[in-house]
């Protein structure tokens, strides 16, 4: 039986200040890995940043959003790092990939 997978898609643009951002990203990734229901993360940044984290349930996503250190990071992001962001939560219905060898 295939396990359900949910994706949290975080799309953002930076403000003029990014001091301390990378350190916080690493802290949050390490913390997320310890959360029940965490399945993985992918990220890319150019003019916009896109980070997708994967979770096994909507409850696990809700618990992560309410995690106290994550709340502090969210507040810091709003105050200092982001000029705009959007969050989308989706159920992954199908997945496939290509790898040229």
Whether pLDDT at 95 is above 50:
yes
- The SS3 assignment for 91 reads strand
Please name the residues in contact with 45: beta carbons below 8 A apart, sequence gap of 6 or more: none
The tokens describing 72, both together, are 């502090």
pLDDT score, position 30: 96
Which residue from 53, 55, 52, 64 is spatially nearest to 3, judged by alpha carbons? 55
pTM: 0.90
The full set of domain ranges for the chain reads 6-91
Check if the beta carbon of residue 28 is closer than 8 Å to that of residue 95.
Answer: no
Residues 24-75: tens digit of each pLDDT = 999 999 999 999 999 999 999 988 999 999 999 999 999 999 999 999 999 9
Which fold is adopted by the domain 6-91?
Alpha-Beta Plaits (3.30.70)
pLDDT score, position 1: 44
């Amino acid at each position: 039986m295939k396990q359900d997978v949910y994706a949290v898609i975080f799309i953002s643009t930076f403000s003029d200040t990014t001091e301390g951002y990378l350190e916080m990203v690493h802290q949050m990734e390490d913390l997320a890995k310890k959360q029940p229901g965490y399945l993985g993360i992918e990220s890319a940044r150019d003019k916009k940043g896109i980070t997708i984290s994967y979770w096994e349930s909507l409850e696990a996503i809700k618990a992560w959003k309410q995690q106290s250190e994550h709340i502090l990071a969210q507040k810091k992001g709003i105050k200092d790092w982001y000029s705009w962001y959007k969050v989308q939560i989706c159920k992954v219905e199908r997945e496939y990939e290509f790898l040229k060898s």
